Structure 1
């Protein structure tokens, strides 16, 4: 009798959970949502969070707060996001550093299994920039100068794809060792180049496209297959004979792994709807991004493929995990 009562109670609880999940999606969000950005203001993750966050705010009629937690190549925010309540009210906004750090960092503080990808939002090529007083006018000239001059280059942090793009180009293609100076985000790295505190930086194009257009920094090369419309005078690394890779930085929205599927689907559907909006497309294109979108399942598959691809590149370059 006691056993039957326990089984009956368990069945009631399970039924309640099944009923509650669709209800949770229907009610979501009914309070403020936090976009936990893994890098400092001014970089690609921050730019995307603010554009999409405002649109979600309008769509959901709920406050969407952007919180920047830069540091450790995105790992600090990822660790915090992994520990968040799995209810959809904390969304980690990070870049391809999420995939890179699984190989580059010995103990990043989280695993891919701690998260589910809710949406691949956008991608942008990587861009290598030079200080205004740098004599070199393109990346090939900068590499030649680095053979006789002491240089460093900045990035948004170790483990970002601009970091790996630069390492691959400098070490494998240019056969030169230029020391890396990690910052907490692409914004601070770009500002350091503007002020000539460092001669070079490798950042997502979106972080410095307007600075190149304004003449505040030199655009030395983009890592895309073709030149980008926003910077038609900046050559590709391919044109300069520096490899055939087509490297991009992507921005993905992640939620804790135990977040209900119905909530993930809600986030995914609303982000996709926003990405199809002409105003969103125009805002993204203005800063050098291309909207992606797609299902949550496709987002999961994409992140897995990128994790494998960048892992192979890290091993080829020979970067040591820290």
Structure 2
């Protein structure tokens, strides 16, 4: 059995273990009996931190104990993941992570302080897709005409991002690779500088989070070409996906997922999974998510495990083909 297949079996096994014994999960109603620490592997105040605190508040309301957010930002999110990997598997330390750390970072950074087998998947929570935005000076009104124009002028145009390895950067890399675009990759130190570069016309394309892009699009400061995720954004339902516009299967978004340490009892994982899915059915949370540019997901631990495998495989292949490195 190959190393990759062994990893797939291991992660699927974790998901199956999380589902086994789910009947006992709701018969034993003593979890949680004390506050739960919810690790956010990102700096305080950013969109990921805001999302983590929103999810923590909803879980607290459903499960009757505080979910205390503990921000452990740094090293592209790997510090927070490492904290949870080393925590006791008792359900009282959890993590809301994104695929930039569980799907991309292991293939870009030096050895990370965790392996995917160090975690029990609980549930996918929400996707934050990117909007492919261009400067209004570019003579293209939609994605097909933009691709045709860039192909006709190889090397003339550039795309910016908030830094190598982030989901905005990787969405642009994936589009350029998939569509065969010869564009200059210009990473900045953060989303703010990359946005300012786009507005100034210093770069011609940036993949922006929905909440950032929408007011700029409405003000005519940037032009929207497509949504990067596999389905349309509820916040911008009239904007087509890249997949719809000739690139089937294209999918790139920041995806929040809830993790517990490996070995967490199956009944606890099942109860947390049920709470996440119940939370996502709340109409007011859906409205709040849309305002943040998020699209609720949910599902089973096994579905989350499959997603993690697919993300890891996809970005490993993209990174290998493009030779992206973080220096």
- TM-score (ref. length: structure 2): 0.73
Q: Which residue of 1 aligns with 2:19?
A: none
Residues 240, 306 of structure 1: alpha-carbon distance in 2 compared, 3 angstrom cutoff: closer
Q: Tell me the SS of whatever aligns to 2:130.
A: strand
Matches within 5 A, 1:248-263: 248-263=253-268
Deviations 1:40-91 (A, max 9, x none): 4565533432332221121223222233333333222212222233222222
1:78 partner SS: helix
What do the CA deviations read for 1:178-230 (whole angstroms, capped 9, x no partner)? Answer: 222253xx6x567756986975543443x424543563952543224665453
1:252-277 superposed Cα distances (whole Å, 9 cap, x missing partner): 01111132222211211111111122
Q: 1:5 matched to which residue of 2?
A: none
1:165 aligns with 2:171: yes
Whether 2:263 is the aligned partner of 1:247: answer no
2:4 counterpart residue number: none
Match of 2:68 among 36, 41, 65: 65
Displacement of 1:23 in angstroms is 11
Q: Structure 1 residues 170 and 59, CA, compared in 2 at 3 Å: closer, same or farther? A: same
Please, which of 272, 279, 297 is the counterpart of residue 277 of structure 2? 272
Q: Secondary structure at the match of 1:128?
A: strand
Q: Which residue of 2 aligns with 1:13?
A: none
Where in structure 2 are the equivalents of 1:195-214 lying within 5 Å? 199=203, 201-205=206-210, 207-212=211-216
Larger radius of gyration: 1
1:83 aligns with 2:86: yes
Name the CA distance, whole Å, in 1 between partners of 2:56 and 2:194: 24
How far apart are residue 231 of structure 1 and its match? 3.2
Matched, 1:177 2:180: no
> Are residues 296 and 171 of structure 1, via their aligned partners in 2, closer, same or farther at CA, if it must alter by over 3 Å?
closer
Distance 1:25 1:215, change over 3 A: farther
Report the equivalent of 1:283: 288
In 2, the alpha carbon distance for the partners of 1:143 and 1:263 equals 51
| Counterpart position of 2:298 | 293
Q: What residue number does 2:16 align with?
A: none
Name 1:9's counterpart in structure 2: none
Match in the other structure for 1:17: none
Structure 2 unaligned segments of length 5 or more: list them.
1-23
- 2:98 paired with 1:95: yes
Tell me, in whole angstroms, the C-alpha distance in 1 between the residues paired with 2:247 and 2:303: 32
Q: Is the 8 A contact 2:26 2:271 kept in 1?
A: no
Count, aligned residues: 295
Two-structure CA RMSD over aligned residues (Å): 3.8
Cα 1:274–1:23 shift into 2, 3 Å: closer
* 1:147-158 matches, cutoff 5 A: 147-148=155-156, 153-155=160-162, 157-158=163-164
Once residues 23 and 270 of structure 1 are traced to their aligned partners in structure 2, the CA distance between those partners, rounded to angstroms, is 11
- What is the alpha-carbon distance in structure 2 between the residues aligned to residue 191 and residue 25 of structure 1? 50
Q: Alpha carbons of 1:118 and 1:229: their partners in 2 closer, same or farther (altered >3 Å)?
A: closer
Q: Is the 8 A contact 1:130 1:219 kept in 2?
A: yes
CA contact (8 A) 2:160 2:188 kept: yes
Preserved contact between residue 126 and residue 255 of structure 2 (Cα < 8 Å) = yes
